[in-house]
Amino acid sequence: MASKRQDLVELSDWQLVEKCQAGDADAFQVLVSRYHQKVFMVILGLMRNRDDALEVAQETFFRAYRKIKSFQGGSSFYTWLYRIAVNNAIDAQRKQKRNPLDFHETMDGLFEARNEVARDPFADVHDRELRESMMKAINELTPEHKAVIVLRTIEGMSYKDIGEVLGCSEGTVMSRLHYARKKLQDKLSAFL
Amino acid sequence: MWKKLRNPVLLFSLALVSAASWLHAADSAPHAVQVTVRSILAGSKSDEFDPKLKNLEQQLKPLKHRSYRALKDETQTIPWQGSKAFDIPGGRSLTIATQEFQNDRIGLKIRLTQGDKPLIDTTVKIANKGNIILGGPAHEGGSLILSISASTQ
Amino acid sequence: MSQCETIQESIGRWLDGELQTADSEAVRRHVEGCPDCAAARQRLEKIHATLSGLLTAQASELEFAPFWREVRRRIDEKRSWHEQLIEWAQSLVTSPRLAWAVPAAIMLVLGFFSLAKWPVGGQVSNYASVESIDTHGRNVALLRDDKTKTTIIWLYQDPEGENENVEEATKSGPAF
């Protein structure tokens, strides 16, 4: 079993997808292990709350598993996966009725509970405030603007790939990214 | 949701359903009805089947005559709610009046007369582009059969 | 628009590697020699680094085993029949392969309901109904042939001999 797992780990995304389509659940597990952190990061950037982001990330892989037979390799696997992730996150955000004022309590509670302050590499208060202001500023963007900046920042995706994920043109990606960066600079001017 | 509606296949399906609904909308009265009356002599003296009647062969079979010969074909366009008379061999006349059109079926009022004497009055509904067979009057040692077909215009 | 404003509009694309080589080179040269544009570059890079660091730190602590357990639980969990129906309907709408099954099915249904109107094998498909009939005292027979769906009205001759060759006519009546 361990050697089979090792063999799977060496396969490309597409080879693993083909195995999944043939019913190999171990192959899907390898795909999840490859992308779970990246997908979580993207979703976390789109959502306000870590627990919600975790729930949406797990749901993303569940839906990917259900739809894997319809994936034909027209795009790269990760582009297809991120498309599911972004759509799920945007849908979840729209359903959320959480009061925006809860944000600060949630983030403070998160950092304290996880003892982030003690382990936080950015121990400087200035940087901590910058991070909090950053998340607040990100969350004030529309889901579409949030998505482009998160995908570009975390994944370094090309405008073409971002456009594929979001279902829009490269020109739209470019203008949304420009707008989002401008907004963030305006809101974080005190820290930059 | 709106992005999914832009799916060209879904749009095509919706267009197809709309077109089908439009095409299958309640029947409106046609401008006119084209009626063709084929006069046929059915006999028992020989075994001949007129090649001109090839497309009626299956319909005439149940009548079990030995021979069938085409006598006359006449086609007329009857205006809606109007009537026309057809000359039938043997001094007969067939008057057909258009009555109604519903569910792709044409309502006709038919009267067959011999001279001034009515032989039969009947009201029928036949399928658009379909026909009905009217037969029985004696003619030239055999029987006269009329195939009455109608189609809307 | 000043040159600096034009360059600052392009700094994002330059840092993203989305400029053509010549334009990229032009931006690079300007930024290296202009304090304002160099500061604009630093601001963008700081935003990028802060956001990236923030999210990477969160994600790096995500353990795979519990994550996979939850995903697996969802996969193994039985869904209600209406959830399966909704998912199946959604896959029909969005699946590229099966999407054309929808209009194909519509055409099949329309074709089935329209079949009666079109000739089959060269023969006209008939279905006539006789609403009323008055034979003025003569006998009449109504026949419907199931094979061709043809309606036949057969008028029997007046036995008192209105027509010529009555005997022959009655002998040559239909055998049905």
- The yes-or-no verdict on residue B88 having pLDDT over 90 is yes
- Residue C26's pLDDT is 92
Q: Which residues of B touch C97 (CB under 8 A)?
A: none
C125-170 pLDDT, tens digit each = 567 999 999 998 889 999 888 888 889 999 987 654 444 443 444 4
Interface list for A 138-167 with C (CB within 8 A)? 138, 149-150, 152-154, 158-159
In a domain, B128, yes or no: yes
Contact C44 A181 (CB under 8 A): yes
* Pick from A116, A159, B143, B25: nearest CA to C156: B143
Angle between helix A13-21 and helix A25-46 axes, rounded to 10 deg: 120
pLDDT band at B17 (very low <50, low <70, confident <90, very high): confident
Domains with residue ranges and CATH for chain A: 1-96 (1.10.1740.10), 141-192 (1.10.10.10)
With respect to residue B129, please indicate whether it lies within any of the assigned structural domains.
yes
Question: In this structure, is residue B3 part of a structural domain?
Answer: no
> Domain coordinates of chain C in residue numbers?
3-60, 80-118, 124-176
CA B53 distance to own-chain centroid = 15
* The predicted structure's pLDDT at residue C94: 58
- Please write the tens of the pLDDT for every residue from A158-176: 999 999 999 899 999 999 9
Task: Give C125→chain B minimum CA distance, Å.
Answer: 7
* Per-residue confidence band for A65, with pLDDT thresholds at 50, 70 and 90: very high
pLDDT band at A122 (very low <50, low <70, confident <90, very high): low
- Please state, in angstroms and rounded to a whole number, the distance separating the CA atoms of residues A151 and A153: 6
Q: How far is CA A76 from the centre of its chain?
A: 17
The predicted complex's ipTM stands at 0.82
The pLDDT of C14-31, averaged and rounded, is: 92
**For A13-52, what is each residue's pLDDT tens digit?**
888 999 999 888 889 999 999 999 999 999 988 887 888 9
How many other β-carbons are positioned within 10 Å of the β-carbon of residue C20? 9
Average pLDDT, integer, range A86-94: 87
Indicate the pairing of strand B130-139 with strand C150-155.
Answer: parallel
Q: What is the mean pLDDT of chain A?
A: 82
Closest Cα partner for B153 from B59, B76, B71, B57?
B76
Chain B residues touching residue C102 (CB < 8 angstroms):
9-10, 13
Residue count of chain C, please give it: 176
Residue B11 lies in a domain: no
Q: Which of A149-158, A178-187, C1-10, C75-84 has the lowest mean pLDDT?
A: C75-84
**Model pTM above 0.80:** no
Give pLDDT, residue A74: 77
What the block records as the tokens of B15 is: 């267009």
Angle, helices C101-114/B8-23, rounded to nearest 10 degrees: 10
Determine the pLDDT at residue B25. Answer: 53
Check CB contact under 8 Å for C157 and B125.
no
pLDDT the model gives residue B143: 92
Report the pLDDT value the prediction gives residue B63, as an integer from 0 to 100.
Answer: 87
**Max avg pLDDT among A51-60, A98-107, B21-30, C57-66:** A51-60
pLDDT at residue number C78:
66
Does the beta-carbon distance from B104 to C117 stay under 8 Å? yes
- Tell me how many domains chain B contains: 1
Q: How confident is the model at residue A149 (pLDDT cuts 50, 70, 90)?
A: very high
**Domain assignment present for B125:** yes
Residues 76-115 of A with CB under 8 A from C: none
Name the residue with higher pLDDT: B31 or C12. Answer: C12
Residue numbers of the domain that contains B49: 31-152
**Which residue intervals of B1-153 are DSSP H helices?**
2-5, 8-23, 57-60
Task: Round the average pLDDT of chain C to a whole number and report it.
Answer: 78
- Residue B24 domain-assigned? no
Would the CB atoms of C155 and B119 count as touching at under 8 Å? yes
How far is Cα A176 from Cα A154, in angstroms, rounded to an integer? 16
- Would the pLDDT of B44 be above 90? no
CA gyration radius, chain C? 43
Tell me how many degrees the CA angle C13-C19-C20 measures, rounded to the nearest 5. 175
